[in-house]
Chain A
Amino acid sequence: MVRVITSVLRYRAALQISPLSLALLFFLVGPVIMIMIMSFYEFTGFMTVPDATLENYVELFTSSLTGINYLQTLKMVGITWVVTLVLGFTLAYFLVFDLIELRTKLLLFLLCVVPFWTSSVIRMVAWVPFLGKEGIINKFVLWTGISSEPLQFLLFSEFAVFLSYIQIFTLFMMAPLFNVMARINRDLIEAARDNGASGIQILWHVIIPLCKPGIAIGTIFVVSLVASDFAAVSLLGGQRVGTVSISMIIQMNMAQYPPSSATGVILLLVVLLIVGGIMRVVDVRKQL
C-alpha cells in the first residue's frame, strides 16, 4: 500500500515538473545542442556545410585573438564582480542590520528594484546624455573649469561599460545577499558580542561565512551576465572594447555561424567551469 502511494507521489512529482522541464528542453537544451552541432560544421568562407570538422576549434585555440578577447572578458567580469560585491554587500547589510522596521526595509528594497521596470538596454542608453561630449557631466566640467576640453573617457570607453554593468548588476548581487542575511540568526551575533568579538570580527567570522551562499548565487548571476553581454559593450563601449561576445557578433554578421558557434560553446564551457567551481566551494543547495 505504502509502495503504491509513493510511486503515485513520485509520478505526480514528475508530472508537476514536466511543463518546466519540457520548456527548458525545447528552449534551452535543444538550441544549445544545435549550437554544438553547428560548431563542427565547415565554413568555406561564404557557406556553411554540414560536416564533422574540428577546424573551428583548432582555429579558435591557435588564434592570438582568442586570448586577447578572453583576457578582456575576464577583466570585465573580475572588476564588475569586485565592485558589485562590495556595493551589494554594503547595501544588503544596511537594509538588514541597520534598519529596524521591516516596512522600511522592504520599501527601500523595492526602491532598488524600480529601475528594473525598464529594459536594460534603455538603462544603458540613458547614460549617453550624461556622459557624452555635450553631456551633463562634461558641461559641468567645462563650466567649473576642471578641464578646458570635454572628458572623452566618459563615453565610448571601458569606463562607460563598467558604469552600466555596476548600475545594472549590483541588484543581482544584493538580492541574494539580502536574502541570506535576513535569515541569519541574531542570537549568533549576540553570542559573538558576549564573547568579546569586535564589530569587524563579527563581520569577518560570523556574517561573511554565513553569507557565502548569497555571494555564490550573486557571483553566478554577475559572471554569466557580464560574460554574455554585448549590448553595453556595443552601445557604451562604442564597439572599441573587444570581448568574446563581440567577436561572436562580428562573426555572425558575416554569416560565419560555425566559427561563431565554436566560440559560443567554449564561452559556455568557461562560464560553466566557473559556476561549477563556485558550487564546489559553497554548497548553495544545502543553504537555500
Chain B
Amino acid sequence: MRKTSSDKSKTGVSRRSVLKGTAAVAGVAAATQLSGGFPTVWSQDIKDLTLRSTGGPWSHFQLLENMANEDLDFTVQLTPVGLDEIQKRGLTQTGSSDLFEPAYLQMKFFWPTGKFQPWDTTKLPEWDTVVDLYKAPGKIWPDAWFGQGQNPSTVSYTSGPDGTDFVEPGSTQWLTAHPVLHNADTLGIRPDLIGRPIDSWAELINPEFAGKAALVSFPTIGLMDAATAFEAAGELTYGDKGNMTQDEIDYSVDRLIQLKNDGHWRALWSAFNESVQLMVNGEVVIQSMWSPAVTAVRAQGVPCVYQDLKEGYRSWTTGHVMPSHLEGKMIGAAYDYVTWYHTGRVGAMFAKQGYYVVTPDNTRKVLPEAEWDFWYEGKPATVDIYDPFGNLMEKPGTIRDGGSYKNRMGRVAIWNSTMDENKYLTRRWAEFIAA
C-alpha cells in the first residue's frame, strides 16, 4: 500500500518536472527568438549532429543523456571518466570530445594550453541567472566567505576570443569555462563508532582516531584537508592554505609523515568506492569524503554523517570547456546544450543528488517546493525524498547534513586549488607516500 502511494507521488513529481522543464526550454527558445540571432541561427540543420561530452561519473550518466536527447534537436553523448582521466583526455586527446567538464582546480592546466575556446557571455541567455560566485567579486552572496585558494571567479575570465590568460572577473565577455555544478565538501564520520560530537577539522588528526582516519590521495586536496586540520588544531596559521609557500608545504608534509609513522592514517583512497568501503567496513571513522560517497554508505544501512564543521567547508566546482576544434554548427550545439543545462530541469535533477547547478533560481522553478525546502533551505523533509533514479533517500523529518545552501556555500573556507608550488608539492606528497 505504501509502495503504491509513494510510486504515485514519484511519477507525479517527475511528470510535473518534465512539463515545467519543457515549458522552461520553450520559454528560453522564445526569448532568444525575440532577442534575435542566437541560438536559433544555429538551431537549423543540426539534427544530425552529435555533441560528445567527457566528464566525471557524478555528472555524466544515462539519465542526463536521456533528458538531453528528449529536449534537444541534436544527439548528446556523455562519457563518464575519473577526474584524473578528464584531465589526461582533455590535455592529450582534446579531439576525442566536444566538451570537457573538468573541475576548476584543473583550469590552470587546461586553459593556458590554447586548446580551448572561450564562451561569449553575450550569447548565453542564462548567464544573468548564474550565481555571482563566478563574477566579480567572487562571492555567491554579499555576506558569503570569499575563501582561501583558487576562488572560481579568478579563473573564470580570459582576455579575448584567443585568450590563454586569466583576467579580472567581469572585465571581459569571455568565459574560460561555463560553470556547471558546485558543492561543499567536509569530513565524513561514523557517528556510531565515535560516539561524541565532532565540530572541528582538528579531529582529523586527533590521536584518538589513530589507525582509523583516512585522507584522499589526490595531492592538493589531501594536503588542503590536512592543512585545514593543522590550522584548526592551532599548530600553524597558513597565509593561504590553497596556495601554500614551500615552507608551509614542508611543515604540512613533515607532519603528515610523522602522523603516518605513528600509524594515524589507515589508508589513502583514490577512488570514490574505496572511500565508501573504508567507511562501511569500519576501517575508518573519520576521513575526507565526497558527498555521494556518504549517501552510498548510508544506502548500505551504515550510519554516516557529512559533518558540518565550524571552520567551514572545502568547496569545488566544475565547468564545461569547449575545445578549439569546434566550428560553426557544433559551436551552436554546444551553446544550445549549456543553455538547456541551466533552464531548471537539469538543476532539479542534480538537486536530488545533493549537488547544486549554478542557476538555483531556475532550479527552483522546476523542483517541487517540499524538495527545495529540504535540499536548499535545510528544512526537515516533509515528504519522502527520492534521488533522481527513484531510490528512497530520506524519510520525512530528516534534515540534510550541513543544512542549507547558504550555510554550505556561504561558508567556504577553502577552494579546491592548484597551487603555484604545484611541482614542489607533488614531489613532497610522493615522499609522504613513500615514507
List A residues at the B interface (Cβ < 8 Å): 43, 45-48, 63, 65, 68-69, 72, 128-129, 132-135, 152, 155-156, 234-235, 238-242, 246-247, 250-257, 259
Contact = CB atoms under 8 A, between A and B. Distances in A.
Contacts, number: 101
Closest 5 pairs between A and B when the two form their complex, measured CB to CB: A242-B434, A238-B267, A239-B268, A156-B267, A242-B433
Interface in B179-213: 211
Contacts of A43: 423
A168 to B, nearest CB: 20
A63 B427 CA distance: 9
A239 B256 CA distance: 14
B407 interface: no
Given A46-B112, A63-B427, A242-B435, A128 B277 contact: yes
B265 A240 contact: yes
Determine the main DSSP class of B at the interface with A: helix
Interface string B110-148: 001100000000000000000000000000000000000
B430 A242 contact: yes
A240 B112 contact: no
Residue among A135, A156, A246, A252 with the highest chain B CB neighbour number at 10 A: A156
A58 B434 CA distance: 20
A46 B113 CA distance: 9
Nearest to A247: B430
A155 B266 CA distance: 9
A255 B91 contact: yes
Given A68-B434, A240-B260, A242-B430, 7 more contacts: A43-B423, A46-B422, A132-B282, A134-B282, A134-B283, A238-B268, A253-B84
Interface residues of B, number: 40
Interface in B404-432: 418, 420, 422-423, 426-427, 429-431
Interface of B: 84, 87-88, 91-92, 106, 108-109, 112-113, 211, 217-220, 260, 263, 265-270, 274, 277, 281-283, 418, 420, 422-423, 426-427, 429-431, 433-435
A36 to B, nearest CB: 16
B433 A239 contact: yes
Nearest to B110: A255
A65 B434 contact: yes
Given A46-B108, A46-B422, A254-B426, A240 B268 contact: yes
B422 A65 contact: no
B248 to A, nearest CB: 17
Contact of A250 (B269, B420, B426): B426
